[in-house]
Amino acid sequence: MKTRVCIIDDEQLAINELTLLLSDYSDIEVCATAKSATEAISIINKNKPDIVFLDIQLKETNAFTIIDKIKVKTHIIFVTAYDEYAVRAFKINALDYLLKPVLKERLSESINRFYTKVSPKKVEELKYKYSDRIIINQKNEFKLISINEIIAITADGDYTCLLLKNDSKKLVLKPLSDWEKLLPYQNFERIHRSTIINLDAIDKIEKSFNNTCKVFLKNNPLPFQMSQRFTSKFLNKYKA
């Protein structure tokens, strides 16, 4: 059974471009499109799509007005030229937030995020490989990084902070739970409710208070705290 998608945008060119990108996915079907809020509400309630790609700023209103009038359960992926609505979008539990022009790699991340919610088996097929490259949005530019460049990921409110091998930090609007599902488990391990580390980056692990540990990464003087729950899981998993 195919994943059904609706696209809402007041620009036909944007609809065409996104439809073309989605045509690469054999298991996704664009069942309807709309260019106005009234038409959008109608086709969403009628078609009951799995995903709605929704432009935030339409000519006569914004996307949040449309969402209030949707009567069916669906997953919203915002598509917009503006990034000032990002935090508000995630507060209403949007699946993702894509900036125009939509990049193939970012669209793939959004589709992966959908499958993490509805089909765990599908997620296993879509997991990142250690050698994969991904594109992350950084203010007015996009950065291409390799998964194996990431040495740690920490939660930071609605964002996550990627620590890279070159000591740089990248703030990404993506929850830690998504990273945990998509990163290769052979290479990455969660050590705290707010921290994931790259196993290859570990220099040493020291015992700490109350059956916890401190994890020191190579070329990084500040340790990461491993919580009691994750210390127990980690030691049981990797004990000789």
What are the pLDDT digits (tens) for 43-93? 999 999 999 999 988 887 888 889 889 989 999 999 988 777 666 666 677
User: Residue 10: its pLDDT value, please?
Assistant: 93
pTM above 0.85, yes or no: no
Strands 28-34 and 3-8: parallel
Residue span(s) of the chain under CATH 3.40.50.2300 come to 3-126
Residue with the bigger pLDDT between 108 and 40: it is 40
**Average of pLDDT values for 94-100?**
88
What's the rounded mean pLDDT across residues 128-140?
A: 86
Residue 198 has pLDDT above 70, yes or no: yes
- Residue 174 confidence (pLDDT): 82
Contacts of 29 (CB under 8 A, 6+ apart): 2, 3, 4, 5
> Helix, strand, or coil here: 10?
coil
Superfamily (CATH H level) for 3-126: Response regulator (3.40.50.2300)
**Domain 133-238: which CATH number of 3.20.20.70, 3.40.50.720, 3.30.9.10, 2.40.50.1020:** 2.40.50.1020
Decide if pLDDT at 125 tops 80. no
Among 16-20, 154-158, 222-226, where is mean pLDDT lowest? 154-158
